[in-house]
Chain A
Amino acid sequence: MTAATAGAFHDGSSRAAATNDLPRLLPPVQDGKRPPDLAAHHARHGDLPYRDRIGTPASPGALISDVEKSGLTGRGGAAFPVHRKLAAVLKAADRRRRTPAVIANGAESEPASDKDATLLWLAPHLVLDGLQLAAEALGADTAILVTHADREHDVAGRVRQALQERLNTRLDRVPVQLAFAPGRFLSGQETALVNHLGGGPSIPTFMPPRITERGLNANPTLVQNVETLAHLALIARHGPRWFREAGTPAEPGSMLATIHRGDGQPKITEVPLGLPLRDLLGDPQQTPAPESAVLLGGYHGMWLPAARAATLTLDNSSLEPAGARVGAGIVISLPPDRCGLVETARVIRYLALESAGQCGPCLNGLPRIAAAFVELATGRPRPHTVEDLQRWSGAVIGRGACHHPDGTARLVRSALITFAAEADRHARGRCSATSTAPFLPIPAAAAQTEADWI
C-alpha cells in the first residue's frame, strides 16, 4: 500500500494509490489552484443523502447503525467511537427533552497539524454534508462550524463561499453558522470550544456533566472533528462495507496525516490506518541513522527512536504497546542536524505558556518542567534535574480538568528516554546538533492577557 496524496499545500509528489480508492476525502491532485465547487463536489461524490423518506422524517437509527458498523472513530485525536457519541447525545436529548446542537470542530490548534485547514480548503462541502447528516440524525436545530480566523490560507473565506453555494441551492436544512476560535493551543478542546461558543473564554471546563449531556446553551451537544464529519458523509453515501475497504479490521478507514520531513511546508496526505510508518518517515529503503528520532501525535505525543518507529504501523493497536497513539496523524521526523532536547524544550515552554492556568498541578507543574528541561537543553543540568522532571511529570498526570498536563508529561517522559544519549552529551558540554535554526513550528505569540482567550 502506498500513500496517496492530494492537495494544494504539499509538494505534489503523488504516488498513485495502488490497492484502494484513496484519496477519499481530498480531491485528486489538480494543476489549478481553484478548489472544486458544489457542482464538482456533487459530480464526484453524488448528492447529499438525507435519510428521510417522503412525508416521514429520518429515523436516526439508520445513520447511527451504519456509523457503528463502519467502525468510524473521531479523527481529532482521541479516536472515540463516533456512534457512541451520537447515541449519547440522542439519549440525553430524549431524556431531557432538549434539542441538540452539532458542532464541526475545525479549530485545529496543534501547531504541527494542518490537515483540518487543508480539508476545509479543498473539500468544504464534504464536511458540511457530514454536519447536515449528523444534525438530521440527532434532530438538531443548531449547526456550527468552528475554525481559526488567522490561518495562512483564507479557510474561513473558502467555507463562507461554500455556504453561499449551498444557500443558493437550498441544500442545507439546518442553517450553518461559522464561528472562530482564538489561536490558542487549547481552544480546540471540546469543553473549551463549547465554553467559547456559549460566550465564555476559550478555556476547558470541568466534566461531568459531559457536553453530550449538557453542552452549548445547556443542550446535548455533539462536537466532531471536521475530518470525522467528512468520513461520515461518505459512509452515508457508500455504506460501512465500503468504508472498511481501507484500514485494518480493528481500526478501519483512512485518515489525513500531516508529515514533517525536513524544513519547509509539511505534507498533508490521506493514508489508510495500519500503514507502515516506514512509508512516512523518509526513504523506505534506507535504514534510519542510529540516533534519529520521530515525534508521533504532535505536541501531546511521543518521541520514539526512528528505528523503533519504522517497525510500527499507523494504528493504535500497533502504537499503544510503544506508548504512542495515532492522535491527529502528525508524524515528524527530526532532521539529523537538530537537537531533540533543544526542540523539545521549546515545545514544552510553549505548552506551559498555553496552559489555561486553571488547575493547580498544571499551573505549578508545567512551568517548573519547562524550566528544568531548558537546563537539560542548554547543558547546565543540576544533579537532580532529571529526577525532578520525572517526578513532576508523574505528579501532573490525570490531575487537570483537561488532558493538557497529561499530554505534556507524555512528551517530556518520551524525550528523556529517546534523547538520553544526547542528554549525557550535553552534561559533558557537547551537543550533536549542527544547526540551531528552530525546526518544530511554534506560534509567535503566547497568551499575554485574558483577552487572548476570547
Chain B
Amino acid sequence: MSERLLVNPIDCKAHGACAELLPEMITLDEWGYPIVDPRPLPPGLERHARTAVNACPTLALRLHRTEAP
C-alpha cells in the first residue's frame, strides 16, 4: 500500500498553497497551476502531504491510496 498525490484539475484554482507546503513533490507551472510528482509519496513526507491536502482552499488536492508499490 502506498499513497500518491492527485490533483483534481477542474477544482484547482491555482492558489499555490500546495507547492508552498510541499515543494518536494509539487512545483508550479508558468500559470501557477501545480505539477504533481506522480510517484508514490516517499516515507517521511506523509505529514507534510496531509498538511498540503488540508490547506488547499478548493479541496482539489487528494491523497490517493494505491495498491501498487
Contact = CB atoms under 8 A, between A and B. Distances in A.
Contacts, number: 37
Interface in B10-42: 10-14, 29-33, 35
A206 B33 contact: no
A205 interface: yes
B51 interface: no
A373 to B, nearest CB: 18
Interface residues of A, number: 14
A77 interface: no
A345 B53 CA distance: 39
Contacts of A400: 9
B31 A399 contact: no
B25 to A, nearest CB: 15
Q: Is the interface of A mostly helix, strand, loop or mixed?
A: loop
A395 B29 CA distance: 7
Q: Is the interface of B mostly helix, strand, loop or mixed?
A: loop
A358 B9 contact: yes
A397 to B, nearest CB: 11
A206 B11 contact: yes
Given A206-B8, A359-B9, A360-B9, A399 B35 contact: yes
B9 A364 contact: no
B10 A364 contact: no
Contacts of B30: 395
Interface in A392-411: 395, 399-401
Nearest to B32: A360
Nearest to B38: A398
Contacts of A35: none
B10 A359 contact: yes
B31 A361 contact: yes
A358 B10 contact: yes
Given A361-B29, A395-B30, A401 B35 contact: no
